[in-house]
Amino acid sequence: MSAMTEVEWRARALAHLERVEQWTRPRRERRARGEAHPVYDFLFQYYTYSAGQLEAWHPAPHEFLVDTPEARERFTGPVYRAIDGVIRRDARALSCESRAKLENVMQVLTATRDRPANFGCYGMHEWAMVFGGHDVRHAHIAPLRLPQEQVDAFVASRPVVCSHFDAFRFFAPDAKPMNRIPLEWSTRYDREQPGCIHANMDLYRWAFTSMPWIGSDLLWRCFELATELRVLDMQAGPYDLRAMGFDPIRVETPEGRDEYQRRQRELSVRASVLRERLIAVVGAVRGGTD
């Protein structure tokens, strides 16, 4: 490829900022008003990548820029290096800590990919979190859409098969023994599987952990998928979000479980494509350090 001129990379950076600001601007406005959004704020609270970091544009690994003073000011060392009239990332600048992070990313991604997918959880984790009235996190803005007794009865009536530790750890104490999959912090990634909406949402985590080496286009695709998975997650939960424009997926009914599984499978297909892309790109970055 030829190197991008300043006009070209500035246009790319602006396009990236405009699409990301559809999410970051409302987030900042809510914070300024002291408001919370039970669906979308998760993407900025649970995940530690800031709005400003998400807005910053970085080229893809195979792309490079014409060496100009403006490009040098924005794309600085040690990550970026100017040589022979172009600016590109220098994988040799990876610190030992960054190499270890990329190695962990590869291990989680490949292990998750290689396990069989489970599409039988039906989003029960959100219900298990509020079992017995425990920590109804969104009660002040999104009340339960069923009486607590019906929520508890539904949890007790169904198999709970959560494979994602970071969902399981928020279960109500009385609901944790109901989970049929043993989960512990020390082995938290050992049960990750490609059907899990949280494992697929976490592709965004592994993408931003790998920044700036993978580039903003791939990061954005993972973020975009995470938003759709989060919507499915909360639609299938016990909360009443209709005032915010989210109709419930009534997983307490056979029809609702069918709808949940259909959408879960569709999003899993998209996640598999992104997972493979992340594996390829991160693997290439690691190879460039040898």
pLDDT tens column, 220-233:
999 999 999 999 99
What pLDDT sits at residue 289?
54
* Nearest C-alpha neighbor of 65 from the set 14, 12, 19: 12
Q: What distance in Å separates the CA atoms of residue 154 and residue 152, rounded to the nearest whole number?
A: 5
Of 157, 194, 198, 197, the C-alpha closest to 178 is 157
Q: Where are the domains of the chain?
A: 6-287
Is the alpha carbon torsion for 234, 166, 120, 134 positive or negative? negative
Those residues of the chain that have pLDDT short of 70 are: 1, 139, 288-290
Residues 26-59 pLDDT 10s: 999 999 999 999 999 999 999 999 999 999 999 9
Burial class of residue 78 in the structure, from the number of CB atoms within 10 Å of its CB (0-12 exposed, 13-18 middle, 19+ buried): exposed
Q: Is the dihedral of CA 197, 207, 225, 24 positive or negative?
A: positive
The one-letter code for the residue type at 166 is: D
Which pTM was predicted? 0.95
At residue 134, the pLDDT reads 75
Q: Are 197 and 123 in contact (CB under 8 A)?
A: yes
In contact, 28 and 44? CB cutoff 8 Å: no
Is residue 287 exposed (0-12), middle (13-18) or buried (19+ Cβ within 10 Å)? Answer: exposed
Tell me what pLDDT residue 106 has. 97
